[in-house]
Amino acid sequence: MSKLYIVPTPIGNLEDMTFRAINVLKEVDLILAEDTRTSGKLMRHFDIGTPMQSHHMHNEHKTVEGLVRRLMHGETIALISDAGTPAISDPGFLLTRACIEQGVDVECLPGATAFVPALVNSGLPNDKFVFEGFLPVKKGRQTRLKLLAEETRTMIFYESPHKLLKTLAHFTEYFGEERQLSVSREISKLHEETIRGTAKEVLRHYEAKPPKGEIVIVVTGNNKK
């Protein structure tokens, strides 16, 4: 029976891979991988020999139609990203939407997602939160920050290490120096760390110690209303 499986993969520690995810990847007809070289290491580690095909942000618009056609003809396909859950700041939405529109069954397995442990580990309110992903690089960034300055829910952002200082400086400017936030880096990896404090304190920390690795920023909402 045709089905698209959305399969999370570890964001660091390979032991975070679930038994179910391994079995699905072994049983499907095809695995769509963001980078087949990166995912190839994971496949070899778990002895998964299923054929892989590249599926990333630069080619997904061109490949979706053909993939849906294959699914409608009875194939089963698993979609993975380099790390974490596909479609969360990674390719996956276009294919998922196209499958649903054509009546193809879609199933997302539970598994690793970087922002969940970062949120829980931050110590900031997590009863209500908003996931912002990556902020606009240039166009629309100032407008977005001005709107988010009034957000009352806890906010979650992804950021690259070479842009972290700029983003923290913007948070200090738009949210205020005393806004509480948390920066989690290299979650589930050897050098995992979480730095907590005010926007000003965390900015100073990373000015003295340039960051490396994958980064999640959690910022408390505006509670001054």
Give the pLDDT confidence score for residue 225 in this predicted structure.
58
Q: Which has the closest alpha carbon to 157: 177, 178, 137?
A: 137
Sorted by where each starts, the structural domains of the chain and their CATH numbers stand as 3-108 (3.40.1010.10), 115-219 (3.30.950.10)
Q: What is the pLDDT of residues 9-26, one digit of tens each?
A: 999 999 999 999 999 999
Report the alpha-carbon distance of residue 177 to residue 198 in Å, rounded: 6
Give the pLDDT confidence score for residue 58 in this predicted structure.
81
What distances in angstroms separate CA 219 from CA 15, 130, 135, one per listed residue?
29, 10, 13
Q: Is the pLDDT of residue 150 over 90?
A: yes
Report the alpha-carbon distance of residue 203 to residue 175 in Å, rounded: 13
Q: What is the pLDDT of residues 165-192, one digit of tens each?
A: 999 999 999 999 999 999 999 999 999 9
**pTM of the shown model:** 0.91
Report the alpha-carbon distance of residue 16 to residue 112 in Å, rounded: 7
